[in-house]
Structure 1
Amino acid sequence: MQPHPTLDQFHVFLTVVDKGSFSAASRALNRTQSVISYTIANLEAQLGVPLFFRSGTKRPELTEAGRSVLEDARRLHGDLDLMHARLKALNDGLEGELSVAMTGIVPSDIVIDVLSTFRSRYPTVTLNVTVGTLGIVMDAVIHGRAAVGFGGAMTIGNNPILSQQIGHSAAFPVASSKHPLAKLGRSIDLFDVRDETQLVVYDASGLTKGRDFNVFSLKTWRVSDNATKHSFIRGGLGWGGLPESLVKEDISNGRLIHLDFPAFDQSQHPIFAIHNVANPPGPAARWLTSEFRERLVGAKGSRGSACSIPVSGEHR
């Protein structure tokens, strides 16, 4: 049984292909041409296929098998380069993997913009993103499943959580244009919504159990996330509050109606970046926090400030 090819053999093979000849590869690698030829011959013997045609060509010409091996060799070389980059980043203090958690209160267009830049800036960092309710975000940060969380903030016992205000967001009461509340054509009151189904996001973590925000109807349907809530409201299954960034397009094209409901709190609510004192954010997490702050401030003209944990609800 032939031994497995080595990374060095594939490196020589790639150099021959890229430089266009055995002699050019020998100069690039500072090895004699006979060593280059011997290395390629050994690689072919171990693979059991010829990689180059050797008759009547001035330049090394790949066989069909050689072209197939070339694709695999480039992938192996790329993986090796990526491993070296990750190890260097780890030695420099950069996270190899970053887990973050966020709620739907963070505008989706800003999230996409920031994460796109993150991918280009930190190509070696594997990113894990959890999207959920306020309680899920807090729970992930408290128990170390997320290095940083983005959303509202709340007081939970004596857990060592630090927060920094990075922007603001608002929630609007909305309904499908075909919903009875949308057809009233006037300001609505508590009596109007009492018997209409209100869609509410429930908190699977249990940390906000017993805390309902902006819930007015006697009949409620509870869903696990804002995406489902948005879909149900657009389908006319009920009414409810949704982040401004999530509904602005539907409101502009008339698919959803921004209900004139004075009792619903539509004021700007703060967005926080939170982390556990025992798990301080690394360079990539700090950059992510700074970038979210910059984009949110630019979008809303808000001013972030460091603070201790405030009592703040994420409106649903």
Structure 2
Amino acid sequence: MIITTERLRYFVSVADKGSFSAAARELGVSISAVNQTIINLEEDLEVTLFERHSGKKPTLTVQGRALYFKSLDVLPRILGIEHYAETLKLGVESAITVAVHPYSFYPSYVDLFKTFTSKYPQVELNIIDSEALTSFDEGFDLMIAPSSIEILRAMNVAAIDRLEWKLVCAHNHPLAKLKGNLEVADLQNHTQVLMGEGFITKPEYREALRYSSSVINVTNFYQYRQCLLQGVGFAPYPAQLLDTNTEKDALVVLDFEFGSEGNSWPIDLVWSDNVGIAGQWLVEQLMKIND
């Protein structure tokens, strides 16, 4: 066969490195193996791909440059297909869907997703909003969300983190000007931003976070955040999401005692028994992320 993955790899490596010896080191083979592979390719194509002069670096010919640029387009795809086929043989799934609640979309989890894509580049990682789910049987492999009161069937559950609530408002909001510890009576005179009910946010969860009779109901966390940043109202906010520069500069943490209910909720990791090797790796890393 004239064109093979090995021949293209050797050819591109010589062109990129500028020498047969450097290509051999990169590929982990002998110089003679690289040289013979290129010679065989040239003979089969009946063209000269490199100009060779004693004491000088090999340079691409006109035909060599044409093949080089085509190889740059084709070779990564071929190598990707080969790697994908290998992962399938090893039992690595082709895609993983992770449902993450916006309250618990912590920076540490995002960093882990980045590491995951480097470790399993051929696995398609899909991240969806857990509030948009309608049941635990709906298409997700893992879920990271505040603890649910639902009884899960054929699912694994483990507490992996905590959600610590802080009461916040914008700098230009009237509550930001009050001094000392705030009482519920202080909040009653102001509008609260409140997330609407969803798959995770049950009515009882909403009521546990409600401190005013005047509310603005929003359907997603983007609206929730923007209302706060614009000074529309006050609201509880996950402490773990207050570390970004935008939140630090724009939001004020109010001095408020949450009472006997406390201001900390468990964060659960939920996963299916059907996850493959990549999914199991992700589960293991999430389980020890706070160790």
Compute the TM-score of the two structures, normalised by the length of structure 1: 0.72
Distance 1:71 1:93 in 2: 34
1:10-29 residue pairs with structure 2 within 5 A? 12=7, 15-16=10-11, 18-19=13-14, 27-28=33-34
Distance 1:259 1:270 in 2: 22
Verify: 1:234 aligned to 2:232, yes or no: no
Instruction: Find the residue that maps to 2:228 and give its secondary structure.
Output: helix
Distance 1:244 1:206 in 2: 19
Instruction: Find the residue that maps to 1:175 and give its secondary structure.
Output: strand
CA shift in 2, pair 1:31/1:272, >3 Å: closer
Question: Corresponding residue for 1:96?
Answer: 94
- Amino acid of the residue matched to residue 229 of structure 2? R
- Aligned residues: percent identity? 18
Q: Deviations over 1:22-42 (max 9, x none)?
A: xx9995496795x5334323x
- Amino acid of the residue matched to residue 42 of structure 2? S
Q: Deviations over 1:257-299 (max 9, x none)?
A: 21223246553211111124xx53222222212212322x24x
Question: Corresponding residue for 1:303?
Answer: none
Question: Corresponding residue for 1:73?
Answer: 71
Distance 2:49 2:36 in 1: 22
- Amino acid of the residue matched to residue 264 of structure 2? Q
Verify: 1:288 aligned to 2:286, yes or no: no
Q: What RMSD in Å do the two structures reach over aligned CA positions?
A: 3.5
User: Structure 1: 5+ residue runs without aligned partners?
Assistant: 1-5, 45-50, 299-316
Q: Deviations over 1:63-85 (max 9, x none)?
A: 55643541331332222222121
C-alpha contact 1:12 1:39 (8 A) present in aligned 2 = no
Distance 2:251 2:148 in 1: 30
Instruction: Find the residue that maps to 1:167 and give its secondary structure.
Output: strand
Distance 1:17 1:290 in 2: 38
Distance 2:203 2:35 in 1: 66
- For residue 114 of structure 1, report the CA deviation from its aligned partner: 1.0
CA shift in 2, pair 1:60/1:230, >3 Å: same
- Amino acid of the residue matched to residue 276 of structure 2? G
Question: Corresponding residue for 2:24?
Answer: none
- For residue 148 of structure 1, report the CA deviation from its aligned partner: 0.8
Q: Deviations over 1:211-239 (max 9, x none)?
A: 52311222222223334322321210111
Match of 1:40 among 26, 37, 45: 45
In the alignment of these two chains, the number of paired residues is 274
Question: Corresponding residue for 1:275?
Answer: 271
Distance 1:170 1:15 in 2: 55
Distance 1:36 1:7 in 2: 6
- Amino acid of the residue matched to residue 275 of structure 1? W
- For residue 61 of structure 1, report the CA deviation from its aligned partner: 4.1
CA shift in 2, pair 1:64/1:165, >3 Å: same
Question: Corresponding residue for 2:193?
Answer: 199
- For residue 99 of structure 1, report the CA deviation from its aligned partner: 0.9
1:140-289 residue pairs with structure 2 within 5 A? 141-143=136-138, 145-156=139-150, 159-205=153-199, 208=202, 211-212=205-206, 213-249=208-244, 253=248, 255-263=250-258, 265-276=261-272, 279-289=273-283
Distance 1:70 1:251 in 2: 46
Distance 2:243 2:33 in 1: 62
- Greater helix fraction, Structure 1 or Structure 2: 2
User: Structure 2: 5+ residue runs without aligned partners?
Assistant: 21-29
CA shift in 2, pair 1:287/1:113, >3 Å: same
- Amino acid of the residue matched to residue 172 of structure 1? K
- For residue 104 of structure 1, report the CA deviation from its aligned partner: 2.6
Compare 250-259 and 176-185 and name the one that shifted more.
250-259
- Amino acid of the residue matched to residue 269 of structure 1? W
